[in-house]
Amino acid sequence: MKYKALFIAFFMLIAVFTKAQENSENVQTNQYSNKGKLYIYWGWNKSAYSNSDIYFKGNNYDFTIHNVVGVDRQSPISSDYINPKSITIPQYNFRIGYYFNDKYSISIGNDHMKYVMKNGQRKQIDGYIKNSGGKYDKVYEYEEIELSQDFLMFEHTDGLNYENIDIRMHERIKQFSNFTVDAFVGLGAGISFPRTNVTFLEGKRYDEFNVAGYGVNALLGGNLTYKGWLFVQVETKGGYIDMPNIRVSYDKSEYAQQHFSFFQYNIVFGANIKLTKMAN
């Protein structure tokens, strides 16, 4: 299950890009070349996640909750999406890259997704909790438990931040008047740098950034560009994130572990910037 989104995205890459290469044979000579240009973009994502097991280890507990459901958290449409003071509150994608030539580019960016464990779901738990002085102190053997707010709140909502680098292959599909249409595919990898919000047994909330693990991804997309520089772009992106070192408290010996597949739908807006006089 953990690789499902990645496999789907990869096979979509092959199918779409094969078609793009077939269509490109009929495209006229490029009026607007990307070679030697820097590109930068900002936009927003909607994300989905596979179910996952979450393991918790601390001084008085050691347990796993199985097959946990997690969802993203979309910000309501408001000025937060364009206000520089609050622009990082919604789920966003930021990226900067460079075209080696018209076919290939390299880029780095941040996918600021949000992950929320749904409270109220009933899932199996195994392990133990002791010395908390509450009703949850016991040894669990794959029994059902309600993930209520007084038991556990767990979310990466100040960012399931996936800082990544990728290589993309681009293909010119259509050119008309001052507009060009390009398709692209890519593969990437990076680190997971979440700010995880955790409250366990109504204790003190923990909320700090931490390098928790790594991720890999595949993507495909297309863009519409005006006069070779202003563009709007849509992307689909699938991947896998493994976080063996999620901080859950101020005690560094306490941690959580989780891995899951993710899928994104993105819309972004950006610009190509000429770095040389030779660039069109």
Q: Tell me what pLDDT residue 194 has.
A: 96
Q: Tell me what pLDDT residue 55 has.
A: 98
Residues in contact with 92: Cβ distance below 8 Å, sequence separation at least 6, in sequence order: 42, 43, 44, 45, 112
Alpha-carbon radius of gyration of the chain: 22
Q: Tell me what pLDDT residue 69 has.
A: 98
- In the 3-class helix/strand/coil scheme, how is 154-205 assigned residue by residue? EEEEEEEEEEEEEEEEEEEEEEECCEEEEEEEEEEEEEECCEEEEEECCCCC
Q: What parts of the chain have a pLDDT lower than 70?
A: 1-30, 277-280
- In the 3-class helix/strand/coil scheme, how is the chain assigned residue by residue? CCCHHHHHHHHHHHHHHHHHHHHHCCCCCCCCCCCCEEEEEEEEEEEEECCEEEEEEECCEEEEEEEECEECCCCCCCHHHCCCCCCCCCCEEEEEEEECCCCEEEEEEEEEEEEEECCCCEEEEEEEECCCCCCCCEEEEEEEEECCCCCEEEEEEEEEEEEEEEEEEEEEEEEECCEEEEEEEEEEEEEECCEEEEEECCCCCEEEECCCEEEEEEEEEEEEEECCCEEEEEEEEEEEEEEEEEECCCCCCCEEEEEEEEEEEEEEEEEEEECCCCCC
- Note the pLDDT tens digit of each residue in 57-74: 999 999 999 999 999 999
Q: Tell me what pLDDT residue 202 has.
A: 79
Which of 4, 1, 5 lies closest to 263, judged by CA? 5
Q: pLDDT above 70 covers what percent of the chain?
A: 88
Q: Tell me what pLDDT residue 206 has.
A: 86
How far apart are the C-alpha atoms of 270 and 179, rounded to whole Å? 15
- Note the pLDDT tens digit of each residue in 167-204: 999 999 999 889 999 999 999 999 999 999 999 997 78
Q: Tell me what pLDDT residue 26 has.
A: 47
Q: Tell me what pLDDT residue 219 has.
A: 97
